Amino acid sequence: VESLDRLIAATPEWEGPHPYRSLRARLRLQSEWVDRGARPVTLGATRGGRDLFAFRIGPSTGVATVLMAGIHALEWIGVEVLERLVAEILAQGTDREIIVVPIVNLDGFALVDDDLRTGRRAIRRATPSGVDLNRNWPTFHASATSLVTRFLPGIGGTGSGPASEPEVAGILRLLDAVVDEGRTIDRALSLHSFGRMILVPWGGRLGRPDAALFAAARAIQSAIPLWYGVRQISWWLPGHRVPGMEVDHLHARYGAVALLVECSLGGISPFRLGSWLHPFRWYNPPDPSREIEALAPALRQFVTASH
Ligand SMILES: [Zn+2]
């Protein structure tokens, strides 16, 4: 917790891109989670030297869920949804452990926070050192993604090897330690933006996964009062296999029912020219509250395995 305080102190204080909170305000919120019973665990330092934290909520025995967001730097709505889920879980309790990694790409997120604070416009997805943290997981890891992605700004590569990035390696160390206690991680949820889609493994191969994954995705879909699609990642764009994704690894390595939710439709409006020009607006709706209200009950039910 001491290093969380240090991290907060080292993060610029400003009001944030209204109505979204600044990074500093989010880190403060995380320290409030600790006051309310979440157990902080450091996952080690990021490439940029920031302490990366996970927060463990609920009993430290039995089955567990992994909940993460912020793998991609501009996808703040996913982090907003995660924060709502954590607030509700802390208030209402949980029968199983929830292992929360609120902002996986902390360095990239900090850079976006800085862009917004200083009025810079940049497309950012990867870490500042150029790795897409959703291509760095060991399952189906490949040394390169498709040609196209190498020429798009801010997209990033797959890293020098499986789990080469300290963020991914740190999460895997924690999850492996849980499994080494003889426990099972049977659910995983990763929150991204945008597209209103619930994505199912596999990304790295065309074969169909266990039917339980589609069943879980459809159960969430039917509980959301907005239109969300359900797709297998590798079948979404035919012939486009995606190497090294978090959901593939969480499913293959731990057997978790692992789902990726692309939250919201983003924030581009044909009536507001400014929304076309600002990358932050591509990924994040101007008012996140409606999406959060719609998603939270369905996602909380999945994460806590309650009915
Ligand atoms: Zn994403």
Instruction: Please say whether the dihedral angle defined by the alpha carbons of residues 33, 98, 67 and 106, taken in this order, is positive or negative.
Output: positive
Q: What is the pLDDT of residues 79-102, one digit of tens each?
A: 999 999 999 999 999 999 999 999
| pLDDT above 60: residue 50 | yes
In eight-state DSSP terms, residue 22 is P
Distance of CA 71 from the midpoint of ligand 1 (Å): 6
Amino acid at 218: R
The angle formed by the CA atoms of residues 135, 140 and 144, to the nearest 5 degrees, is 50
Centre of ligand 1 from the C-alpha of residue 245, in Å: 10
Distance in Å, CA 2 to ligand 1 centroid: 30
Q: What is the pLDDT of residue 213?
A: 98
Q: Work out the average pLDDT over 185-203.
A: 97
The structure's pTM equals 0.96
Residue 63 token pair:
């089955």
What separation in Å is there between the alpha carbon of 72 and the centre of ligand 1?
5
Ligand 1 centroid to residue 194 C-alpha, Å: 7
Report the pLDDT averaged over residues 98-107.
98
Res 218 pLDDT > 70: yes
Average pLDDT over residues 194-211: 95
Please list all protein residues whose beta carbon sits less than 5 angstroms from ligand 1, which is an ion: 72, 75, 192
Residue 152 backbone dihedrals phi, psi, to 5 degrees: -90, 140
| pLDDT, average across residues 217-233 | 97
Alpha carbon distance 72, 134 (integer Å): 8
Distance of alpha carbon 290 from alpha carbon 226, whole angstroms: 10
Q: Which uninterrupted H or E stretch holds 8?
A: helix 2-9
pLDDT tens sequence across 114-162: 999 999 999 999 999 999 999 999 999 998 765 555 556 667 899 999 9
